[in-house]
Structure 1
Amino acid sequence: MAVPAAPKPETLAAFEAAKGFMPVREGLALHAAATEAGRLGLPLLEVGTYCGRSTILLADAARAAGTVAVTVDHHRGSEEQQPGWEYHDPAVVDPEVGLMDTLPTFRRTLHKAGLEEYVIAVVGRSPQVARVWAGEVGLVFIDGGHTDEHATADYEGWAPRVAEGGLLVVHDVFPDPADGGQAPYRVYLRALASGAFTEVSVTDSLRVLRRTGPGF
Protein backbone atom coordinates (compact mmCIF):
# COMPACT_ATOMS: atom_id res chain seq x y z
CA MET A 1 0.00 0.00 0.00
CA ALA A 2 1.46 3.33 -1.06
CA VAL A 3 2.08 5.81 1.73
CA PRO A 4 -0.58 8.54 1.44
CA ALA A 5 -0.43 12.10 2.66
CA ALA A 6 -0.93 12.45 6.41
CA PRO A 7 -3.91 14.44 7.65
CA LYS A 8 -3.43 18.19 7.86
CA PRO A 9 -2.34 19.52 11.26
CA GLU A 10 -5.77 21.04 11.90
CA THR A 11 -7.46 17.73 11.13
CA LEU A 12 -5.15 15.84 13.44
CA ALA A 13 -5.71 18.47 16.14
CA ALA A 14 -9.48 18.07 15.81
CA PHE A 15 -9.09 14.28 16.06
CA GLU A 16 -6.99 14.54 19.21
CA ALA A 17 -9.42 17.01 20.79
CA ALA A 18 -12.50 14.86 20.10
CA LYS A 19 -14.03 12.61 22.73
CA GLY A 20 -13.21 8.97 22.00
CA PHE A 21 -10.76 6.14 22.45
CA MET A 22 -8.70 5.66 19.27
CA PRO A 23 -4.95 6.33 19.76
CA VAL A 24 -3.13 8.56 17.28
CA ARG A 25 -1.05 5.77 15.72
CA GLU A 26 -4.13 3.75 14.91
CA GLY A 27 -5.91 6.88 13.72
CA LEU A 28 -3.13 7.61 11.25
CA ALA A 29 -3.34 4.04 9.96
CA LEU A 30 -7.10 4.41 9.54
CA HIS A 31 -6.62 7.67 7.66
CA ALA A 32 -4.06 6.01 5.39
CA ALA A 33 -6.47 3.17 4.62
CA ALA A 34 -9.34 5.58 4.00
CA THR A 35 -7.20 7.71 1.70
CA GLU A 36 -6.30 4.67 -0.38
CA ALA A 37 -9.84 3.30 -0.44
CA GLY A 38 -11.17 6.72 -1.39
CA ARG A 39 -9.51 6.37 -4.78
CA LEU A 40 -12.23 3.87 -5.71
CA GLY A 41 -14.71 6.75 -5.63
CA LEU A 42 -17.09 4.87 -3.35
CA PRO A 43 -18.39 5.77 0.12
CA LEU A 44 -16.24 5.07 3.16
CA LEU A 45 -18.38 3.43 5.83
CA GLU A 46 -17.89 3.28 9.58
CA VAL A 47 -19.80 1.03 11.97
CA GLY A 48 -19.64 2.54 15.45
CA THR A 49 -19.50 6.33 15.63
CA TYR A 50 -19.60 7.20 19.33
CA CYS A 51 -18.69 10.93 19.39
CA GLY A 52 -17.00 11.15 16.00
CA ARG A 53 -13.29 10.93 16.79
CA SER A 54 -12.49 8.45 14.01
CA THR A 55 -15.16 9.94 11.75
CA ILE A 56 -13.01 13.06 11.45
CA LEU A 57 -10.29 11.04 9.73
CA LEU A 58 -12.70 9.23 7.41
CA ALA A 59 -14.37 12.51 6.50
CA ASP A 60 -11.02 14.14 5.77
CA ALA A 61 -10.10 11.28 3.43
CA ALA A 62 -13.55 11.42 1.82
CA ARG A 63 -13.18 15.16 1.23
CA ALA A 64 -9.84 14.66 -0.50
CA ALA A 65 -11.25 11.86 -2.69
CA GLY A 66 -14.48 13.63 -3.62
CA THR A 67 -16.63 11.04 -1.93
CA VAL A 68 -18.46 10.79 1.41
CA ALA A 69 -18.08 9.08 4.76
CA VAL A 70 -21.13 7.20 6.03
CA THR A 71 -21.28 6.45 9.72
CA VAL A 72 -23.76 4.02 11.29
CA ASP A 73 -24.62 4.08 15.00
CA HIS A 74 -27.74 4.00 17.20
CA HIS A 75 -25.94 6.49 19.48
CA ARG A 76 -27.15 4.80 22.67
CA GLY A 77 -23.68 3.45 23.45
CA SER A 78 -22.23 -0.03 23.30
CA GLU A 79 -22.20 -2.48 26.20
CA GLU A 80 -19.02 -1.25 27.86
CA GLN A 81 -20.27 2.37 27.77
CA GLN A 82 -23.40 1.79 29.84
CA PRO A 83 -23.70 2.96 33.50
CA GLY A 84 -21.51 0.95 35.83
CA TRP A 85 -19.07 -0.09 33.10
CA GLU A 86 -15.49 1.00 32.52
CA TYR A 87 -16.07 3.32 29.56
CA HIS A 88 -19.24 5.02 30.76
CA ASP A 89 -19.27 8.82 30.45
CA PRO A 90 -22.17 10.51 32.25
CA ALA A 91 -21.57 13.65 30.15
CA VAL A 92 -23.22 11.94 27.17
CA VAL A 93 -26.36 10.80 28.99
CA ASP A 94 -29.59 12.50 27.95
CA PRO A 95 -31.02 13.75 31.28
CA GLU A 96 -34.58 13.76 29.96
CA VAL A 97 -34.72 10.07 28.98
CA GLY A 98 -31.89 8.75 31.15
CA LEU A 99 -30.14 7.00 28.27
CA MET A 100 -26.88 7.63 26.49
CA ASP A 101 -27.14 9.90 23.45
CA THR A 102 -23.84 10.58 21.72
CA LEU A 103 -25.46 12.13 18.63
CA PRO A 104 -25.33 15.78 19.81
CA THR A 105 -21.65 15.45 20.76
CA PHE A 106 -20.94 13.76 17.42
CA ARG A 107 -22.56 16.63 15.53
CA ARG A 108 -20.57 19.20 17.50
CA THR A 109 -17.39 17.25 16.79
CA LEU A 110 -17.94 17.39 13.02
CA HIS A 111 -18.96 21.04 13.15
CA LYS A 112 -15.81 22.03 15.02
CA ALA A 113 -13.70 20.10 12.49
CA GLY A 114 -15.47 21.75 9.53
CA LEU A 115 -16.40 18.36 8.06
CA GLU A 116 -20.19 18.16 8.35
CA GLU A 117 -20.82 18.27 4.59
CA TYR A 118 -18.63 15.21 3.96
CA VAL A 119 -20.50 12.90 6.33
CA ILE A 120 -23.83 11.11 6.13
CA ALA A 121 -24.85 10.04 9.63
CA VAL A 122 -27.21 7.09 9.72
CA VAL A 123 -28.88 6.69 13.11
CA GLY A 124 -29.87 3.06 13.47
CA ARG A 125 -28.68 -0.41 14.36
CA SER A 126 -26.01 -1.82 12.10
CA PRO A 127 -27.75 -5.06 11.00
CA GLN A 128 -30.95 -3.21 10.12
CA VAL A 129 -29.10 -0.59 8.09
CA ALA A 130 -27.01 -3.26 6.33
CA ARG A 131 -30.15 -5.09 5.23
CA VAL A 132 -31.40 -2.05 3.30
CA TRP A 133 -28.01 -0.94 1.97
CA ALA A 134 -27.91 -1.67 -1.76
CA GLY A 135 -24.51 -0.51 -3.03
CA GLU A 136 -20.81 -1.20 -2.63
CA VAL A 137 -18.43 0.75 -0.43
CA GLY A 138 -14.72 1.37 -0.75
CA LEU A 139 -14.02 0.83 2.95
CA VAL A 140 -15.78 -0.68 5.94
CA PHE A 141 -14.43 0.19 9.38
CA ILE A 142 -15.82 -2.13 12.06
CA ASP A 143 -15.66 -0.48 15.48
CA GLY A 144 -19.08 -1.09 17.02
CA GLY A 145 -20.19 -3.35 19.83
CA HIS A 146 -17.52 -5.78 21.03
CA THR A 147 -19.64 -8.78 21.94
CA ASP A 148 -19.57 -11.74 19.58
CA GLU A 149 -23.19 -11.08 18.69
CA HIS A 150 -22.61 -7.50 17.60
CA ALA A 151 -19.16 -7.89 16.02
CA THR A 152 -20.36 -10.89 14.01
CA ALA A 153 -23.49 -9.05 12.86
CA ASP A 154 -21.38 -6.07 11.77
CA TYR A 155 -19.05 -8.35 9.80
CA GLU A 156 -21.82 -10.37 8.17
CA GLY A 157 -23.81 -7.25 7.33
CA TRP A 158 -21.06 -5.09 5.91
CA ALA A 159 -18.02 -7.12 4.78
CA PRO A 160 -19.88 -8.39 1.67
CA ARG A 161 -20.45 -4.73 0.68
CA VAL A 162 -16.71 -4.01 0.33
CA ALA A 163 -15.92 -3.60 -3.36
CA GLU A 164 -13.17 -5.58 -5.09
CA GLY A 165 -9.92 -3.86 -4.15
CA GLY A 166 -11.59 -2.08 -1.23
CA LEU A 167 -10.57 -2.33 2.40
CA LEU A 168 -12.00 -3.89 5.54
CA VAL A 169 -10.61 -2.33 8.72
CA VAL A 170 -11.21 -3.95 12.11
CA HIS A 171 -10.42 -2.15 15.37
CA ASP A 172 -9.56 -3.55 18.80
CA VAL A 173 -8.09 -6.80 17.51
CA PHE A 174 -6.28 -8.43 20.45
CA PRO A 175 -4.81 -11.90 19.87
CA ASP A 176 -3.98 -12.10 23.60
CA PRO A 177 -7.12 -12.18 25.78
CA ALA A 178 -5.18 -10.36 28.49
CA ASP A 179 -5.11 -7.27 26.26
CA GLY A 180 -8.81 -7.03 25.47
CA GLY A 181 -12.01 -8.69 24.29
CA GLN A 182 -11.80 -11.38 21.65
CA ALA A 183 -14.85 -10.72 19.44
CA PRO A 184 -13.07 -8.36 17.00
CA TYR A 185 -10.15 -10.81 16.83
CA ARG A 186 -12.51 -13.63 15.89
CA VAL A 187 -14.07 -11.46 13.20
CA TYR A 188 -10.60 -10.66 11.85
CA LEU A 189 -9.70 -14.37 11.72
CA ARG A 190 -12.99 -15.14 10.00
CA ALA A 191 -12.29 -12.50 7.35
CA LEU A 192 -8.87 -14.00 6.62
CA ALA A 193 -10.31 -17.52 6.50
CA SER A 194 -13.10 -16.48 4.12
CA GLY A 195 -10.80 -16.19 1.13
CA ALA A 196 -12.29 -12.78 0.41
CA PHE A 197 -9.66 -10.71 2.21
CA THR A 198 -5.87 -10.44 2.37
CA GLU A 199 -4.09 -8.62 5.18
CA VAL A 200 -2.49 -5.32 4.22
CA SER A 201 -1.22 -3.84 7.48
CA VAL A 202 -1.17 -4.16 11.27
CA THR A 203 -0.93 -1.10 13.54
CA ASP A 204 -1.32 -2.01 17.18
CA SER A 205 -4.95 -3.23 17.44
CA LEU A 206 -5.96 -1.99 13.98
CA ARG A 207 -6.05 -4.49 11.09
CA VAL A 208 -6.43 -3.50 7.43
CA LEU A 209 -7.49 -6.16 4.90
CA ARG A 210 -8.08 -5.87 1.16
CA ARG A 211 -10.99 -7.46 -0.69
CA THR A 212 -9.27 -9.77 -3.17
CA GLY A 213 -11.85 -12.48 -3.81
CA PRO A 214 -15.55 -13.41 -3.68
CA GLY A 215 -15.53 -15.46 -0.46
CA PHE A 216 -19.24 -14.96 0.35
Structure 2
Amino acid sequence: MIPDLPANIEQIKGFLAADEGAALYRHAQAARALGPVLEVGSYCGKSTLYLGLACRDGGTVYALDHHRGSEEHQAGEMFHDPDLYDSGEALVDTFREFRRNIRTAGLDDTVVPLVSSSDVVARHWRTPLGMVFIDGGHSLDAALLDYRCWSCHLVQGGILAVHDLFPDPYEGGQAPWAIYQMALASGLFAEVERVNTLGILRRL
Protein backbone atom coordinates (compact mmCIF):
# COMPACT_ATOMS: atom_id res chain seq x y z
CA MET A 1 0.00 0.00 0.00
CA ILE A 2 1.42 3.38 -1.06
CA PRO A 3 0.28 6.27 1.18
CA ASP A 4 -1.33 9.23 -0.64
CA LEU A 5 -1.18 7.58 -4.05
CA PRO A 6 -3.74 9.51 -6.15
CA ALA A 7 -6.95 7.60 -6.71
CA ASN A 8 -6.76 8.53 -10.39
CA ILE A 9 -3.19 7.25 -10.88
CA GLU A 10 -4.28 4.94 -13.71
CA GLN A 11 -5.87 7.88 -15.54
CA ILE A 12 -2.65 9.92 -15.51
CA LYS A 13 -1.02 9.84 -18.93
CA GLY A 14 1.95 7.52 -19.04
CA PHE A 15 3.17 4.01 -19.80
CA LEU A 16 4.06 2.69 -16.34
CA ALA A 17 2.25 -0.38 -15.00
CA ALA A 18 1.06 -0.44 -11.38
CA ASP A 19 3.52 -3.19 -10.35
CA GLU A 20 6.38 -1.21 -11.89
CA GLY A 21 5.30 1.90 -10.01
CA ALA A 22 5.20 -0.02 -6.74
CA ALA A 23 8.74 -1.30 -7.36
CA LEU A 24 9.99 2.23 -8.09
CA TYR A 25 8.39 3.43 -4.85
CA ARG A 26 9.98 0.64 -2.81
CA HIS A 27 13.48 1.11 -4.20
CA ALA A 28 13.35 4.92 -4.06
CA GLN A 29 12.25 4.79 -0.43
CA ALA A 30 15.35 2.73 0.42
CA ALA A 31 17.76 4.61 -1.87
CA ARG A 32 16.85 8.12 -0.73
CA ALA A 33 19.15 7.71 2.30
CA LEU A 34 22.11 7.41 -0.10
CA GLY A 35 21.35 10.54 -2.10
CA PRO A 36 18.74 12.20 -4.32
CA VAL A 37 16.76 10.30 -6.93
CA LEU A 38 17.07 11.38 -10.56
CA GLU A 39 14.48 10.42 -13.15
CA VAL A 40 15.24 10.71 -16.87
CA GLY A 41 12.00 10.98 -18.84
CA SER A 42 9.10 12.25 -16.75
CA TYR A 43 6.46 12.76 -19.49
CA CYS A 44 3.32 13.75 -17.53
CA GLY A 45 4.63 12.68 -14.13
CA LYS A 46 3.09 9.25 -13.56
CA SER A 47 6.37 7.62 -12.53
CA THR A 48 7.44 10.85 -10.82
CA LEU A 49 4.51 10.52 -8.43
CA TYR A 50 5.68 7.10 -7.24
CA LEU A 51 9.24 8.39 -6.77
CA GLY A 52 8.09 11.63 -5.16
CA LEU A 53 5.81 9.92 -2.66
CA ALA A 54 8.70 7.62 -1.69
CA CYS A 55 10.90 10.66 -1.04
CA ARG A 56 8.32 13.01 0.46
CA ASP A 57 9.55 12.68 4.05
CA GLY A 58 13.26 13.21 3.60
CA GLY A 59 14.36 13.03 -0.01
CA THR A 60 14.49 14.90 -3.31
CA VAL A 61 13.57 13.79 -6.81
CA TYR A 62 15.13 15.55 -9.79
CA ALA A 63 12.76 15.04 -12.72
CA LEU A 64 14.64 15.54 -15.99
CA ASP A 65 12.72 15.94 -19.24
CA HIS A 66 12.77 18.44 -22.10
CA HIS A 67 8.96 17.97 -22.22
CA ARG A 68 8.91 17.98 -26.01
CA GLY A 69 8.14 14.28 -26.23
CA SER A 70 10.23 11.37 -27.47
CA GLU A 71 10.39 10.27 -31.09
CA GLU A 72 7.22 8.18 -30.78
CA HIS A 73 5.21 11.10 -29.33
CA GLN A 74 5.60 13.44 -32.28
CA ALA A 75 2.76 14.30 -34.66
CA GLY A 76 1.99 11.37 -36.94
CA GLU A 77 3.75 8.82 -34.72
CA MET A 78 2.21 5.87 -32.87
CA PHE A 79 1.98 7.42 -29.37
CA HIS A 80 1.14 11.00 -30.37
CA ASP A 81 -1.43 12.59 -28.03
CA PRO A 82 -3.21 15.62 -29.54
CA ASP A 83 -4.05 16.88 -26.03
CA LEU A 84 -0.33 17.37 -25.39
CA TYR A 85 0.35 19.22 -28.63
CA ASP A 86 0.83 23.00 -28.61
CA SER A 87 -0.49 24.03 -32.02
CA GLY A 88 0.70 27.60 -31.50
CA GLU A 89 4.30 26.42 -31.13
CA ALA A 90 3.80 23.36 -33.37
CA LEU A 91 5.50 21.29 -30.66
CA VAL A 92 4.63 18.64 -28.08
CA ASP A 93 4.48 20.18 -24.60
CA THR A 94 3.99 17.88 -21.61
CA PHE A 95 5.27 20.30 -18.96
CA ARG A 96 1.91 21.87 -18.06
CA GLU A 97 0.35 18.44 -17.48
CA PHE A 98 3.41 17.35 -15.49
CA ARG A 99 3.29 20.37 -13.18
CA ARG A 100 -0.44 19.96 -12.63
CA ASN A 101 -0.02 16.33 -11.55
CA ILE A 102 2.90 17.12 -9.23
CA ARG A 103 1.07 20.05 -7.64
CA THR A 104 -2.16 18.07 -7.18
CA ALA A 105 -0.21 15.34 -5.36
CA GLY A 106 1.37 17.92 -3.03
CA LEU A 107 4.91 17.18 -4.23
CA ASP A 108 6.12 20.65 -5.24
CA ASP A 109 8.61 20.64 -2.33
CA THR A 110 9.93 17.17 -3.17
CA VAL A 111 10.15 17.11 -6.97
CA VAL A 112 12.56 19.49 -8.74
CA PRO A 113 11.83 19.70 -12.50
CA LEU A 114 14.85 19.96 -14.78
CA VAL A 115 13.50 21.07 -18.14
CA SER A 116 16.32 20.26 -20.52
CA SER A 117 18.21 17.32 -22.03
CA SER A 118 20.56 14.85 -20.35
CA ASP A 119 23.75 16.17 -21.88
CA VAL A 120 23.01 19.79 -20.96
CA VAL A 121 22.07 19.08 -17.33
CA ALA A 122 24.87 16.55 -16.82
CA ARG A 123 27.53 18.92 -18.15
CA HIS A 124 28.30 20.39 -14.70
CA TRP A 125 26.50 17.89 -12.46
CA ARG A 126 28.40 17.12 -9.24
CA THR A 127 25.78 15.69 -6.87
CA PRO A 128 26.09 11.96 -6.04
CA LEU A 129 22.83 10.12 -6.61
CA GLY A 130 21.14 7.34 -4.66
CA MET A 131 18.96 6.21 -7.56
CA VAL A 132 18.70 6.83 -11.30
CA PHE A 133 15.59 5.85 -13.25
CA ILE A 134 16.04 5.87 -17.05
CA ASP A 135 12.86 6.13 -19.10
CA GLY A 136 13.75 8.73 -21.71
CA GLY A 137 14.06 8.52 -25.49
CA HIS A 138 14.05 4.97 -26.84
CA SER A 139 16.38 5.45 -29.79
CA LEU A 140 19.77 3.83 -29.19
CA ASP A 141 21.53 7.20 -29.27
CA ALA A 142 19.15 8.69 -26.68
CA ALA A 143 19.30 5.69 -24.35
CA LEU A 144 23.10 5.52 -24.53
CA LEU A 145 23.34 9.24 -23.80
CA ASP A 146 21.11 8.92 -20.72
CA TYR A 147 23.05 5.91 -19.44
CA ARG A 148 26.46 7.50 -19.95
CA CYS A 149 25.41 10.84 -18.47
CA TRP A 150 23.90 9.50 -15.26
CA SER A 151 25.01 5.99 -14.29
CA CYS A 152 28.44 7.38 -13.38
CA HIS A 153 26.90 9.56 -10.65
CA LEU A 154 25.44 6.65 -8.68
CA VAL A 155 26.99 6.00 -5.29
CA GLN A 156 27.99 2.51 -4.20
CA GLY A 157 24.82 0.65 -3.30
CA GLY A 158 22.73 3.02 -5.41
CA ILE A 159 19.96 1.84 -7.71
CA LEU A 160 19.85 2.00 -11.50
CA ALA A 161 16.35 1.33 -12.83
CA VAL A 162 15.61 1.01 -16.55
CA HIS A 163 12.10 0.90 -18.01
CA ASP A 164 10.72 -0.81 -21.13
CA LEU A 165 12.96 -3.86 -21.21
CA PHE A 166 12.03 -6.20 -24.05
CA PRO A 167 14.53 -9.02 -24.63
CA ASP A 168 12.41 -10.13 -27.60
CA PRO A 169 12.62 -7.50 -30.39
CA TYR A 170 9.16 -8.51 -31.58
CA GLU A 171 7.69 -7.24 -28.30
CA GLY A 172 9.33 -3.80 -28.11
CA GLY A 173 12.26 -1.51 -28.81
CA GLN A 174 15.76 -2.71 -28.01
CA ALA A 175 17.56 0.44 -26.79
CA PRO A 176 16.60 0.13 -23.08
CA TRP A 177 17.52 -3.57 -23.17
CA ALA A 178 20.87 -2.69 -24.76
CA ILE A 179 21.88 -0.26 -21.99
CA TYR A 180 20.64 -2.69 -19.34
CA GLN A 181 22.92 -5.38 -20.77
CA MET A 182 25.74 -2.85 -21.04
CA ALA A 183 25.41 -2.03 -17.35
CA LEU A 184 25.55 -5.71 -16.40
CA ALA A 185 28.52 -6.33 -18.69
CA SER A 186 30.43 -3.45 -17.12
CA GLY A 187 30.87 -5.40 -13.88
CA LEU A 188 29.74 -2.31 -11.95
CA PHE A 189 26.15 -3.43 -11.46
CA ALA A 190 24.31 -6.51 -10.21
CA GLU A 191 20.71 -7.35 -11.02
CA VAL A 192 18.32 -7.04 -8.09
CA GLU A 193 15.01 -7.87 -9.74
CA ARG A 194 12.83 -7.56 -12.82
CA VAL A 195 9.23 -6.39 -12.51
CA ASN A 196 7.25 -6.55 -15.72
CA THR A 197 9.37 -4.38 -18.11
CA LEU A 198 11.29 -2.65 -15.30
CA GLY A 199 14.81 -3.77 -14.46
CA ILE A 200 16.51 -2.95 -11.15
CA LEU A 201 20.30 -2.97 -10.77
CA ARG A 202 22.50 -2.11 -7.79
CA ARG A 203 25.81 -0.26 -8.09
CA LEU A 204 28.57 -2.45 -6.65
Superposition TM-score, scaled by structure 1 size: 0.92
**What's the counterpart of residue 2 of structure 2?**
7
Pair 1:76 & 2:71 matched: no
Identity value in percent: 47
Counterpart selection for 1:48 from 18, 38, 41: 41
Which residues of 2 match residues 51-70 of structure 1 at below 5 A? 51-64=44-57, 66-70=58-62
Which residues of 2 match residues 186-205 of structure 1 at below 5 A? 186-205=178-197
Contact 2:6/2:105 (8 A) holds in 1 = no
The residue type equivalent to 1:133 in the other structure is: W
**What's the counterpart of residue 17 of structure 2?**
23
The residue type equivalent to 2:121 in the other structure is: V
**What's the counterpart of residue 107 of structure 1?**
99
**What's the counterpart of residue 157 of structure 2?**
165
User: Structure 2: 5+ residue runs without aligned partners?
Assistant: none
Structure 1 runs (4+) greater than 6 angstroms displaced: none
**What's the counterpart of residue 132 of structure 1?**
124
C-alpha distance in 1 between matches for 2:26 and 2:8: 17
Describe the SS at the equivalent of 2:56: helix
RMSD of aligned C-alpha atoms? 1.0
Contact 1:14/1:113 (8 A) holds in 2 = no
Instruction: Pick the structure with more helix per residue.
Output: 1
Describe the SS at the equivalent of 1:87: coil
Contact 1:167/1:211 (8 A) holds in 2 = yes
Pair 1:86 & 2:81 matched: no
**What's the counterpart of residue 117 of structure 1?**
109
**What's the counterpart of residue 3 of structure 1?**
none
Deviations 1:17-56 (A, max 9, x none): 321111101111111111111122x110000010000000
C-alpha distance in 2 between matches for 1:31 and 1:14: 17
Describe the SS at the equivalent of 2:7: helix
